[in-house]
A = this chain, B = another copy of it.
Amino acid sequence: MRTDYCGNIDSSYVGQEVTLCGWVNKRRDLGGVIFIDLRDREGLVQVVFDPDLPDVLEEANKLRSEFCVKLTGKVRARPAGQVNDTMRTGEIEILGTGLHIYSKANALPLDWNQENSEEQRLRYRYLDLRRPLMSQRLKFRSQVTAAVRRYLEGDGFLDIETPILTKATPEGARDYLVPSRTHKGEFFALPQSPQLFKQLLMMSGMDRYYQIVKCFRDEDLRADRQPEFTQIDLETTFLDADGVMAITEGLIRDLFNKMLNVELGDFPRMTYAEAMQRYGSDKPDLRNPLELVDVADLLSTVEFKVFSGPANDPKGRVSVIRVPGGASLSRKQLDEYTKFVGIYGAKGLAWLKVNSLEGGQEGLQSPVLKFLSEDITDAVLQRTGAQSGDILLFGADTANVVTEALGALRLKLGEDLDLLEGEWRPLWVVDFPMFEEVDGQYHALHHPFTAPRDVDAEQLKANPADALSDAYDMVLNGVELGGGSVRIHDEQMQSAVFSILGIGEQEAQSKFGFLLDALQFGAPPHAGLAFGLDRLVMLMTGATSIRDVMAFPKTTTAACPLTSAPSPANEQQLADLAIGVVKKNT
């Protein structure tokens, strides 16, 4: 119906007749001459209707914002003063000679010139997506997936689909259930990830698998989560952790290079222990220069119990964040930060302002200064590298509380004080513990199919607490882009892990019998990784929410204001499925 996209018409078209289809972005009437900006996926172009063609002008007079039209016209250079250098079509305009209105538009319920509520944006998503910012994001996302596919296919990965109607998997979150009609009283689960299927594909000799695949978690949608999200999921046979990390690091490097013209370079590696120690996080944002500096050894003898207590407790931690230039923080700001660390269980936030390094204690200011000898203060200043104008912020509590509270505080300070350096700071976090112990019960830090490093099944059972896993997380700017591991390919080891996790033999058989079976028929060594596509695209486009890089996301209560899903089922449907609603929503 058209000869080209609006956004493609540049000065090379001058003198040509074109036919374009699109939407009226803006319409102006300047003394009987009508100007419209016509918009399609590729951009805007200016069209002029003048009185020389009265019939066409009359039709153009009917145009309003968001009418959908086809028009024909001749491309001509704009008069010198009207050139717009900021757009591709800015040197030309089209003299409209024919116009057909496909469909009219009512006044829009969204005002693109201001913020609209999330609810309104999702309810009229088809209008929200007309905004160039949104359509460019979806276009960018499509280009990212295409580039990912090309890279992986070039590396021998096969795109293999795994089931959506499947069995509950133990990924930690709540499953979405789907009642079966043919097996009444039974349920499928939607996959939280294709973890076990991809492992089975490796056991079936597919060698290298990938899939860009929907996954599902029925979680409470605090923060930026969605009930369905998309993974770039991959798995390989006969590769170790280094092999998988090389492939996936190469993939992300290639993507940033091609899509953003950014050279990420080699990703540094950091152990989980170091990340928690220095950054109080297993996904440190390296753009943030602040670090946690441990000072328990320096403060173990002070009389101030708030410090010396945790300093002498094997499960305690005493750490300092030095904030360059932070001496100028106001009392009010410090009170707010104290409240902030309270969220993470910290009972207070001791501080020490270094107004001037010269002149000893005189240059320092702190409510706790009286508890510290000059020697100790000097040692702390030296270890933290304090400079005049800095502030030191102290955390002293159990290791968990200090790590979490100062880890979060570090991020907040970085943002509040605009301290971030550099644009892109990727890294690998490695050497995670296999298990975390909560109330005497071990939990898998990744998932129960992750292989431990350098121990056999007996050694693992003898000392689970100290075991490290062969897992690796890719982190970019403080966001976990992806995580993976070498998997267990030995039945004894898999059974040992189940038993450490408190999964009895009977439960293991009923839940994972098919995996334990499969491990008895020549299971190969295998390892893989999964990226969160939504987060990756969000980071790359600079969007602040994954909802802004999804075409039809759900609200934070997991509903769709556009289609009004979920909605009640009718009696017949429920009868077919042999289920009943126990309690209506109140």
Using a CB–CB cutoff of 8 Å, the interface residues on chain A facing chain B are 1-2, 5, 21-24, 39-41, 66-68, 70, 102-106, 108, 124-130, 135, 138-139, 141-142, 145-146, 149, 153, 158-168, 174-190, 196-197, 200-201, 203-207, 214, 216, 218, 220, 227-228, 230, 237-240, 243, 489-490, 513-514, 517-525, 550-552, 554, 557-560, 562-569, 573-585
Asked whether, in the complex, the Cβ of B166 is within 8 Å of the Cβ of A2, the reply is no
How many Å lie between the Cα of A158 and that of B128 in the bound state?
Answer: 18
A559 partner residues in chain B, CB cutoff 8 A: 180, 182-183
Partner of A102, one of B106, B514, B525: B525
Asked whether, in the complex, the Cβ of B576 is within 8 Å of the Cβ of A174, the reply is yes
Asked whether, in the complex, the Cβ of A2 is within 8 Å of the Cβ of B584, the reply is no
Output the least CB separation between A115 and chain B (Å): 19
Asked whether, in the complex, the Cβ of B489 is within 8 Å of the Cβ of A585, the reply is no
Asked whether, in the complex, the Cβ of A161 is within 8 Å of the Cβ of B102, the reply is no
Interface centre among A239, A550, A552 (most CB of B within 10 A): A552
How many Å lie between the Cα of A153 and that of B141 in the bound state?
Answer: 13
A182 partner residues in chain B, CB cutoff 8 A: 220, 557-559
Partner of A522, one of B5, B103, B142: B103
Asked whether, in the complex, the Cβ of A2 is within 8 Å of the Cβ of B238, the reply is yes
Closest B residue, CB atoms, query A22: B205
Asked whether, in the complex, the Cβ of B138 is within 8 Å of the Cβ of A102, the reply is no
A585 partner residues in chain B, CB cutoff 8 A: 183-186
How many Å lie between the Cα of A406 and that of B63 in the bound state?
Answer: 56
Partner of A578, one of B187, B216, B581: B581
How many Å lie between the Cα of A29 and that of B337 in the bound state?
Answer: 75
Asked whether, in the complex, the Cβ of A190 is within 8 Å of the Cβ of B204, the reply is no
Asked whether, in the complex, the Cβ of A552 is within 8 Å of the Cβ of B163, the reply is yes
Output the least CB separation between A189 and chain B (Å): 7
Asked whether, in the complex, the Cβ of B580 is within 8 Å of the Cβ of A579, the reply is yes
Closest B residue, CB atoms, query A524: B68
Output the least CB separation between A545 and chain B (Å): 16
- If A138-B160, A164-B214 touch, whether A185 touches B584 (CB-CB below 8 Å) is yes
14 contacts between A and B (CB under 8 A): A1-B240, A66-B521, A102-B524, A103-B519, A105-B521, A124-B517, A141-B160, A142-B160, A164-B190, A164-B228, A177-B573, A178-B178, A178-B190, A200-B562
A518 partner residues in chain B, CB cutoff 8 A: 126
Asked whether, in the complex, the Cβ of A145 is within 8 Å of the Cβ of B159, the reply is yes
Q: Top 7 A-B pairs ranked by shortest CB distance?
A: A129-B204, A105-B522, A186-B566, A167-B565, A180-B566, A68-B522, A142-B158
A207 partner residues in chain B, CB cutoff 8 A: 5, 40-41
- If A129-B204, A177-B573, A489-B102 touch, whether A186 touches B568 (CB-CB below 8 Å) is yes
A145 partner residues in chain B, CB cutoff 8 A: 159
Asked whether, in the complex, the Cβ of A166 is within 8 Å of the Cβ of B105, the reply is no
Partner of A106, one of B127, B179, B230, B521: B521
Asked whether, in the complex, the Cβ of B581 is within 8 Å of the Cβ of A166, the reply is no
Closest B residue, CB atoms, query A523: B103
Asked whether, in the complex, the Cβ of A129 is within 8 Å of the Cβ of B558, the reply is no
- If A142-B160, A560-B166, A565-B165 touch, whether A521 touches B581 (CB-CB below 8 Å) is no
A206 partner residues in chain B, CB cutoff 8 A: 41, 129, 135, 138
Asked whether, in the complex, the Cβ of A563 is within 8 Å of the Cβ of B40, the reply is no
A569 partner residues in chain B, CB cutoff 8 A: 177, 186-187
Output the least CB separation between A163 and chain B (Å): 5
How many Å lie between the Cα of A68 and that of B146 in the bound state?
Answer: 34
How many Å lie between the Cα of A138 and that of B209 in the bound state?
Answer: 11
A525 partner residues in chain B, CB cutoff 8 A: 1, 102
How many Å lie between the Cα of A207 and that of B68 in the bound state?
Answer: 13
Asked whether, in the complex, the Cβ of B178 is within 8 Å of the Cβ of A176, the reply is yes
How many Å lie between the Cα of A67 and that of B205 in the bound state?
Answer: 12
Output the least CB separation between A103 and chain B (Å): 5
How many Å lie between the Cα of A563 and that of B579 in the bound state?
Answer: 23
Output the least CB separation between A90 and chain B (Å): 21
Interface centre among A149, A521, A576 (most CB of B within 10 A): A521
